[in-house]
């Protein structure tokens, strides 16, 4: 991958934890919706406050989540790596991005457009619950609970 979008296979999706127990029919629907993209290191995937257009899974690499605005000096930051996902909060809540996400290494992303994210949530209840549970924890952390 050289930054151009490429289709991904069902086998590839099945290797990602998030999809561990997703039904094969649902997986086959999903693999047609994702595209992959290689992002160089130290690159902003999106910034806090941006409008949300997609959901991302880290197929290979590491990103840093910075919940504060540019110029703020809080030290809180989270690292996400291979198999983790991000970008669900703004899509679920229909609000701007809650954090800036930067690549720490060259990172291969699997991406879903906004409308396809909602398709994914409809296709597998188990997957929907898993994503919503993660979102709840992240929101609580953001509000200091």
Residues that bind ligand CMP (CB under 6 A): 52, 65, 67, 78, 86-90, 97-99, 101, 138, 141-142
Cα 60 to chain center, whole Å?
12
Question: For ligand CMP, which is the closer residue by CB, 10 or 18?
Answer: 18
Helix, strand, coil in percent for the chain, rounding step 5? 35, 25, 40
Question: What H or E segment, with its residue span, contains residue 102?
Answer: strand 100-103
Query: Strand pairing partners for 78?
Result: 65
Question: For ligand CMP, which is the closer residue by CB, 23 or 50?
Answer: 50
> What SS3 state is found at 134?
helix
Question: For ligand CMP, which is the closer residue by CB, 52 or 58?
Answer: 52
Question: For ligand CMP, which is the closer residue by CB, 8 or 90?
Answer: 90
Query: Strand pairing partners for 29?
Result: none
Distance in Å, CB of 142 to ligand CMP, minimum: 5
Distance in Å, CB of 8 to ligand CMP, minimum: 20
Q: How far apart are CA 31 and CA 28, in angstroms?
A: 5
Distance in Å, CB of 32 to ligand CMP, minimum: 23
């Amino acid at each position: 991958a050289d930054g151009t979008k490429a289709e991904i296979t069902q086998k590839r999706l099945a290797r990602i934890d998030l999809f561990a127990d997703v039904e094969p029919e649902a997986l086959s629907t999903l693999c047609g919706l994702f595209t992959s993209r290689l992002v160089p290191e130290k690159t902003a995937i999106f910034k806090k406050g941006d409008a949300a257009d997609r959901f991302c899974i880290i197929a290979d690499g590491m990103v840093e989540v910075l919940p504060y605005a540019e110029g703020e000096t809080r030290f809180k930051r989270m690292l996400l790596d291979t198999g983790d996902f991000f970008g669900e909060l703004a899509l679920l809540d229909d609000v701007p991005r809650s954090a800036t996400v930067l690549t720490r290494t060259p990172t291969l992303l699997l991406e879903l457009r906004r409308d396809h994210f909602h398709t994914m949530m409809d296709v597998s209840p188990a997957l929907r619950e898993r994503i919503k549970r993660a979102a709840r924890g992240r929101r609580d952390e953001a509000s200091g609970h």
